[in-house]
Structure 1
Amino acid sequence: MNSDFVIALHSLVLLANLPDQMANSEVIAENVCTNPARIRKVMSLLRKNGYVKTKEGIGGGYILSSDPDEITLSEIYLTVSVGALKPNWCTGDPEQTCVISSNTQSVMDEIFNEAEFHLQSYLNQITIRHVLDRIKSSD
């Protein structure tokens, strides 16, 4: 899992908590505790996929353009983090004669693919509204 998922999730929950209000990248960044450039990068992906709308200039920013009751965490994961469970490097070498070394990469790829499938299935049960409600109830 990479931090873009958590940044996207946090940003969408914040916007869901501010219905009909714009929030610029500086406001979101302060709330998320990261820098505005990082927020703009993640929000660009969310905008391209229809989760937020943007307005340029003074008073501009981001506003939620989708129903928080319908946005699943699985959708957000697929937008910003798909494939993030699998490490960039895996031990072993398919060219080796050793059965362990030559097969570890393919077996681990299968394991990570299965884990990602199960993660997406679980995240598909949770919406942005569920997260917002849990946050508010933990006060």
Structure 2
Amino acid sequence: MNSEFVIAVHSLVLLAYRPDGMATSEEIAANVCTNPVRVRKVMSCLRKCGFVDTREGAGGGYKLCRRPEEVTLADIYRALAAGSLAPSWCSGNPEMNCVVGSNMGEVMNAVFCGADRQLEMYFEQITIGQMLSRVKAKQEA
């Protein structure tokens, strides 16, 4: 899982929480506890995917443009992190004479692809609106 996914979910929940649904990259970064440049990079991708709009000038920033109940974590995962469970390196070598060494990379890749599909199905059940409800419930507890 990459940090862009976490930043994206946090940012969208924050926008859903705000009464006007708007925040600057500096406000989001302070809330997420990261750098505004990282936030802008993530928000740029979210804008391209139709999750947020931007407004320039005074009073500008990012605004959630879809209802929080319509955006699933799977939507965000597909936009920013799909396939990120698979490691960048696999053991073995297809050219080896050993059955384990020559096939382990392909077998591990299939395992990670299956895990990625399972994670995406799980994320499909959770919306940004539900994440906001969980945050609010945590505060009330």
Q: TM-score range by the shorter chain?
A: over 0.9
Partner of 1:119: 119
- Report the alpha carbon displacement of residue 56 of structure 1 after superposing the two structures with TM: 1.5
* Structure-to-structure mapping, 1:1-139, within 5 angstroms: 1-139=1-139
Q: CA separation in 1, counterparts of 2:38 and 2:132?
A: 22
- Report the alpha carbon displacement of residue 18 of structure 1 after superposing the two structures with TM: 1.0
Give ranges in structure 2 of 5+ residues lacking alignment.
none
Q: CA separation in 2, counterparts of 1:64 and 1:85?
A: 27
The superposition leaves residues 66-114 of structure 1 with CA deviations (integer Å, 9 ceiling, x where unpaired) of 0100100000000010110001111111111111110001000100000
Runs ≥4 in structure 1, deviation > 6 angstroms? none
- The percent identity for this pair of structures is 56
TM-score (normalizing by structure 2): 0.96
TM-score (normalizing by structure 1): 0.98
Q: CA separation in 2, counterparts of 1:73 and 1:112?
A: 19
SS at match of 2:22: coil
Q: CA separation in 1, counterparts of 2:57 and 2:97?
A: 62
Matched to 2:119, the amino acid is L
